[in-house]
Structures are given as structure tokens and as C-alpha cells.
Amino acid sequence: MKSDRPYRNRRAPLRLAGVLAVLPLVCLPAGCSRSAAKAVIQNTGSDTMVNVAQAWAEEYVNVAPEVSVEVSGGGSGIGIAALINGTVGIANTSRPIQPQEIEQARQHRGEAPREFVVGLDALAVYVNAANPLGQITIDQLAGIYGEGGTITRWSALGIAMPPGADEIIVVSRQSNSGTYAYFREAILGKGRDFKLGTRDMQGSKDVVDLVGKTPQAIGFSGMGYATHEVKMLPLARKAGQPAVAPTAENSISRRYPIARPLLMYTLGEPTGAAKAYLDWILSPAGQAIVRKAGYVPLADAQATRR
């Protein structure tokens, strides 16, 4: 059985942690002038968000040339662990921070994480573009992914696949992924884990790439990773109910069953370069990049809910 154990803090020294999170870049006299010195913001976490985070970082160079934002993925759990350790200034996550992680931050760093909602995502269920399946239910997904689930062949869903391709290849994420944790709770339910034998991919893009190359595969990933080689299945809460497509409009209205926020966390209230960067991400310019990356900007959601 897979596990998703909470991060265990390794008690990184606070003085080192503070240096690494938002760091002035020092240049040698022979290598650059004093005007080239930059503040560095380390930004790590969700693979769902890594493309939009990289796009933000690249554009922010034009907004604040004196600041360098260094982005890496690895999963929401990795980002939160790094935030608690003090090795990053901002963590990206596709799941809310857990109570035990908040308590670890308070115990080891003396501050609670501060949450920023920066966009919305529909966690999409992907099949190969050639797969004739038109929709799926939450119960069917649980039967495919959950321990004890009995759906192992496409024929069990009424789908006729080519000879030798009836067995479902189940593609998942590694347990440090926020997408993994969110899917497990939303689809499998509390207390139920994934079945053994899933193909666990390191990144969101890896899931979609594998499904696109494998006609009998099914996987889940953020809506921003869709390609012409895959299709996103409409999802019904229960058999007999309407299936809802993972679109921006359905994410905003929450008609799509597994819509979720995209989140960023700092330790306590951000200051200095980190605060300015987050303010810019939440501005129209930063939110335009959310839309371009295939996700839902906050302004769209707020306008719909007025």
C-alpha cells in the first residue's frame, strides 16, 4: 500500500534557512558590476504549477530586473517541506497545506504559513485521443484506481479496444504530489489508498505524455497540460447524472467535481522582494499569465460569483 507520510522536519538551522530563502546574489568584481547584484527568490513545489511558475519568473525579469526568481518542481509536498526547512521563500502547491505541516512550521520556524490563492485548475482525467470512451463517473474512477477496485479492463466500461489492448494501464503520480493527494481524497475517499500496480510518474507533463503515447492508458493531471494526443473526459458525480467537462467555466462554478485552487505559501506575511512578487502575480499582468498557461485566473472566478 502506498503511503503519503507527513514531512519530518530535519531541524535546519534558522540562520542558514533565512539566507537561502530570499538571497542577495553577490558578484565578484571581475565578473560583474555592483548594478548586477540581484535578490533571489527560491520558488519550489507543485508540478501542476511549474509551467505557470516558470512563465511568471521569466516575465518578472522585465518588471523587476533586480530580482531573480528561481523555479523548480518536485511536487507540492517537496515545496512545503522546503518552506518549513527554510530553503525556499515561496512554495507552490496544488493542495491545501495539512494541519500537521502548519504545526511543524510553528514549532520549528515560529510562524504559520500564509496562503495565497493564485488561480483555479480542473484536475482532468485523460485518455488517449483514440480512446472511444466519452465520459466517466467518480465511482468508475475509484474502481480503476482504488485498492480493491475491480475495473481492470476497458470492456468493463463498455469500450471495445483493439485486440490485446483491453487491459487498462493506470497512470498516477508519486505520493509527494499534491495532485496525488487531492485525487486520492476526492475520488477514492478518506481512508482508501491507490491500488498496487499503477505507473507513478514524477511530473504532471509525464502523465499526459505517457497517456498520449499509450492507447489503453488513463491518467490524471492539471487542465493546463492538455495536448492534441489526449482528451479530457467529462466527469459525472454519480451514474445517471450529467457528466461535466473540465473547462474554465465549470471550474469557476464548481460544477466540475474536482476543480481546485492553485496555491502559494510563505512563512508568515511576506516582505520585501517576495511580497512584491506575489503582489504582481495577483495583479492583472500576473493573472494574464495564468490564463495563457491554460488555468483560470482569479478575476474570472470573482466576476462570475458577483
Q: What is the pLDDT of residues 46-92, one digit of tens each?
A: 999 999 999 999 999 999 999 999 999 999 999 999 999 999 999 99
Q: What is the pLDDT of residue 58?
A: 97
Task: Spell out the per-residue pLDDT of the chain, length 306, in tens.
Answer: 444 433 333 333 333 333 335 444 433 333 333 345 789 999 999 999 999 999 999 999 999 999 999 999 999 999 999 999 999 999 999 999 999 999 999 998 999 999 999 999 999 999 999 999 999 999 999 999 999 999 999 999 999 999 989 999 999 999 999 999 999 999 999 889 999 999 999 999 999 999 999 999 999 999 999 999 999 999 999 999 999 999 999 999 999 999 999 999 999 999 999 999 999 999 999 999 999 999 999 988 765 544
The pLDDT tens digits of the residues spanning 168-209 come to 999 999 999 999 999 999 999 988 999 999 999 999 999 999
Query: What CATH number corresponds to the domain at position 219?
Result: 3.40.190.10
Q: Can you give the chain as a three-state secondary structure string?
A: CCCCCCCCCCCCCHHHHHHHHEEEECCCCCCCCHHHCEEEEEEEECCCCHHHHHHHHHHHHHHCCCEEEEEECCCHHHHHHHHHHCCCCEEEECCCCCHHHHHHHHHHHCCCEEEEEEEEEEEEEEEECCCCCCCEEHHHHHHHHECCCCCCEHHHHCCCCCCCCCECEEEEECCCCHHHHHHHHHHHCCCCCECCCCEEECCHHHHHHHHHHCCCEEEEEEHHHCCCCEEECCEECCCCCCCECCCHHHHHHCCCCCEEEEEEEEECCCCHHHHHHHHHHCCHHHHHHHHHCCCECHHHHHHHHC
Residue 164 counted as domain residue:
yes
Q: Which of 223, 242, 259 is the last residue of a domain?
A: 259
Residue 281 counted as domain residue:
yes
Domain that holds residue 98: 14-120+261-305
CA distance 21 to 121: 27
CA distance 239 to 244: 12
Residue 286 counted as domain residue:
yes
155 and 188 fall within a common domain: yes
Q: Which of 238, 259, 280 is the last residue of a domain?
A: 259
Q: What is the pLDDT of residue 189?
A: 92
209 and 278 fall within a common domain: no
152 and 164 fall within a common domain: yes
pTM: 0.82
